[in-house]
Amino acid sequence: MSENSEVLISEQALVVPFNYSAGPVASRFFVALRDEQKIYGLKCAKCGQVQVPPRATCGACFIKMDEWVEVGPDGNLDNFTVVHYQESTHPAAAPFAVGIIRLDGADTGLVHLVALSEDGELKVGMRVSPVWARERRGHILDLECFAPAVS
């Protein structure tokens, strides 16, 4: 770049509509959320780890997984953050929480929305339960969010 060059910056919005193919593993996961209101993971035949969300290959052993197991529906809130600002791409209105939920029977965490309690208190380790969307369409938000479990 020469001394006489000027750098210009232009802001633009790019909209790229597309269809996403979830593939056979994620499709089965989403269909179960929609039709059964159940959460499934895949269990590794070698190490026994149950991964949720399911993936075709074990992240630890790198072998193909094909044993479907039902997990949850309840679990523990392993970690969370509360979002206090709004973006058009957010799945919920601010403020909202996103957490890592380790479902009963799963060895990995599921990142998902967590409902803020009336007092706004969320605690690492607290028990949470799924809240299902009334109208489900084969999407991760068929599982609307997790909410503090009722004792």
To which H or E segment does residue 30 belong? helix 23-36
Does a structural domain hold residue 133? yes
Query: Dihedral (C-alpha) 89, 132, 76, 111: value to the nearest 10 degrees?
Result: -20
The pTM of the full predicted model, rounded to 2 decimals, is 0.83
Beta strands in the chain (DSSP E): 39-43, 50-51, 67-71, 75-83, 96-103, 110-114, 127-132, 143-148
Q: Is residue 7 one of the residues assigned to a domain? A: no
| Domain membership flag for residue 9 | no
Cα(140)–Cα(91) distance, integer angstroms: 11
Q: Which tens digit of pLDDT belongs to each residue from 52-108? A: 999 999 989 999 999 999 999 999 999 999 999 998 888 888 899 999 999 999 999
In a domain? residue 51: yes
Task: Residue 52: give the domain boundaries.
Answer: 23-148
Task: Answer yes or no: is 8 within a domain.
Answer: no
In a domain, 14, yes or no: no
Q: For the chain, how many structural domains are there in total?
A: 1
Q: How large is the average pLDDT for residues 136-146?
A: 94
Instruction: Report yes or no on 3 lying in a domain.
Output: no
**Which neighbouring-strand residues pair with 71?**
39
Query: For 111-126, what is each residue's pLDDT tens digit?
Result: 999 998 776 689 999 9
Examine residue 88 and state whether it is found in any structural domain, yes or no: yes
